[in-house]
Structure 1
Amino acid sequence: MLAELTANAVADALARREGRPLAEVEAAALARPPALDALAALAPADHVKVIAEIKRSSPSRGSLASISDPAALARSYELGGASAISVLTEGRKFGGSLADLEAVRAAVSLPVLRKDFIATPYQVLEARAAGADLVLLIVAALDDAQLAELFALITDLGMTALVETHGADELDRAAQLGARLIGVNARDLSTFELDRDLFARLADRFPDDAIRVAESAVLSADDVAHYRRSGADVVLVGEALVTGDPIANLSAFLAV
């Protein structure tokens, strides 16, 4: 599934490139104001921090929420105390778009993450051109050369890479890369099975200077507390926020 999602995302980017050449996207990216400091926004604190996600659907859960106004939802997240906003821009399975990212960027003052299946420099430049401050890199989808190239480009553009891992070897690769923001996704993107205890098993492998992000399997404050006890600085939450009251849920999560 991960290979298919990545291949489709790359194919869709190539199609967009036909209408918007690399040079044009690069110029737009370089013309953007400097990216916001996501590492400062997500730095460890007395309470857990939340990256709140704009997410309409997923391959594992199907349709979650229509989200006709992603900017309005992002403003609710900001009002509720989120530290950053994640925007799914993959269109085929998640119902997202770069237009969603642009709308959210214009609506909030928080760092914004482009969450997609990124495998080419063009996609990174698209992210900055649309106003992203962070870009997701999924270690399992990239070889070492791709990972290093994309990480360097994200950094050179002033953005922050959220480097997502699903196991010990992948977390070690993220550490060797020099990543400062590292996530552990409880959902295996090949099988879509969940393992809420994966983060705890990998917690000791994080570099000392890395911000620790727990992703997926967050439906309640108890789930957040479970991750916090395991050492998470940040949780990334989508489904629980788009299917419930975002402000009330954020309030409960941030009390952990």
Structure 2
Amino acid sequence: MPTVLDGILDGVREDLESRRAATPLAALESALSDLPAAIDPLPGFRAAAATGVAVIAEVKRASPSKGSLAEIPEPGRLAAAYAAGGASAVSVLTERRRFGGTLADLDEVRAAVTIPVLRKDFLVDGYQVTEARAHGADLVLLIVAGLDDALLRDLHQQARELGMTSLVEVHDAAELDRALAVGPALVGINARNLKTLEVDLRTVTDLLPRVPGDVLAVAESGVTGPEVVADYVRAGASGVLVGEALVTGGRPAQAVRSFLESARAVR
């Protein structure tokens, strides 16, 4: 039986082909020479984690599990608030059908902040990696559950060649082993199972001890408030990726600060 992830990936592939037809790969590649170098997020993440946690704050309009979350008419303004609150990076959802995102959101956020920007989407083709860099992304998300080993390796290597960092996302121990095989600097552990959309915080806390010390581990999903951030940090997370709690709370900068304070209290 097809999973939720399968359905998302089908739509992603259809939308990808439409964009590829409108903007050939050669056009994207020609735009790369006019861009400044991608920002390396790792020094900032390590510095933030040394005293607390690196917060990757997300521009997220909707989700498959909750539907519409927030209108977000000015993604750049929201991203600037995240940066003012102390976020180490901004994540921008660009998937259209289930999350209501666009590449225009990525463009606007990139223009609004000087901290690293993550393109969060369901990458299934090298075109999307080049596309991410052409729109100013410094990081890309690679979801192990949606990729075979060869494609995971190829996309990870392509991102590296373009100067970007990959956040390699896993949901269980087998996926973590596959992720570590490509030598990532960043591993994301998602409490949400993308095949069922169920959230279990123990997925994060159980897998964190398995991440090698030289790899930064980012806890994803399930953050409803500072107490969950503190729990993730106690379990070994260097970073947290938070979307829903930030876009629905009404005070994004203050919310980011509260996450940082809760992490510092347990370091």
Which residue number corresponds to residue 238 of structure 1? 243
Work out whether 1:248 is the aligned partner of 2:254.
Answer: yes
Out of 65, 68, 71, the position equivalent to 2:76 is: 71
Out of 27, 31, 53, the position equivalent to 2:34 is: 31
Asked whether the 8 Å contact 2:189–2:203 carries over to 1, the reply is yes
Which residue number corresponds to residue 141 of structure 2? 136
Out of 41, 45, 68, the position equivalent to 2:44 is: 41
Cα distance, 1:237 vs structure 2: 0.3
**Following superposition of structure 1 onto structure 2, how do residues 115-130 of structure 1 map, counting pairs within 5 Å?**
115-130=120-135
Asked whether the 8 Å contact 1:30–1:129 carries over to 2, the reply is no
Q: Deviations over 1:97-147 (max 9, x none)?
A: 000001100110000000000010000011000000000000000000110
Amino acid at match of 1:18: A
130-139 or 245-254: bigger deviation: 245-254
Cα distance, 1:30 vs structure 2: 3.9
Out of 91, 96, 111, the position equivalent to 1:91 is: 96
Asked whether the 8 Å contact 1:172–1:205 carries over to 2, the reply is no
Secondary structure, in 3 states, of the residue corresponding to 1:82? Answer: coil
Cα distance, 1:177 vs structure 2: 0.7
- Give the Cα–Cα distance (whole angstroms) in 2 for the partners of residues 162 and 147 of structure 1: 12
Cα distance, 1:17 vs structure 2: 1.0
Amino acid at match of 2:256: L
Asked whether the 8 Å contact 1:133–1:160 carries over to 2, the reply is yes
**Following superposition of structure 1 onto structure 2, how do residues 180-219 of structure 1 map, counting pairs within 5 Å?**
180-219=185-224
Asked whether the 8 Å contact 1:86–1:113 carries over to 2, the reply is yes
Using the size of structure 2 for normalisation, the TM-score is 0.94
Give the aligned length.
256
Please tell me the root mean square deviation across aligned C-alpha atoms, in Å: 0.8
Cα distance, 1:3 vs structure 2: 1.6
Secondary structure, in 3 states, of the residue corresponding to 2:110? Answer: helix
Work out whether 1:17 is the aligned partner of 2:23.
Answer: no
- Give the Cα–Cα distance (whole angstroms) in 2 for the partners of residues 179 and 127 of structure 1: 18
Cα distance, 1:18 vs structure 2: 0.8
Which residue number corresponds to residue 166 of structure 2? 161
Which residue number corresponds to residue 118 of structure 2? 113
- Give the Cα–Cα distance (whole angstroms) in 2 for the partners of residues 120 and 13 of structure 1: 9
Q: Which runs of 4+ in 1 moved over 2 A?
A: none
Asked whether the 8 Å contact 2:94–2:101 carries over to 1, the reply is yes
Amino acid at match of 1:33: P
Cα distance, 1:173 vs structure 2: 1.0
Asked whether the 8 Å contact 1:51–1:83 carries over to 2, the reply is yes
Which residue number corresponds to residue 53 of structure 1? 58
Using the size of structure 1 for normalisation, the TM-score is 0.98
59-68 or 32-41: bigger deviation: 32-41
Secondary structure, in 3 states, of the residue corresponding to 2:51? Answer: coil
Amino acid at match of 1:52: A
Cα distance, 1:11 vs structure 2: 1.5
Secondary structure, in 3 states, of the residue corresponding to 2:150? Answer: helix
Q: Deviations over 1:167-202 (max 9, x none)?
A: 001111111110010010000000000001111111
Asked whether the 8 Å contact 2:106–2:136 carries over to 1, the reply is yes
Instruction: Give ranges in structure 2 of 5+ residues lacking alignment.
Output: none
- Give the Cα–Cα distance (whole angstroms) in 2 for the partners of residues 137 and 26 of structure 1: 21
Secondary structure, in 3 states, of the residue corresponding to 1:200? Answer: helix
Work out whether 1:225 is the aligned partner of 2:230.
Answer: yes
Q: Deviations over 1:186-223 (max 9, x none)?
A: 00000000001111111222122100100000011111
Asked whether the 8 Å contact 1:166–1:186 carries over to 2, the reply is yes
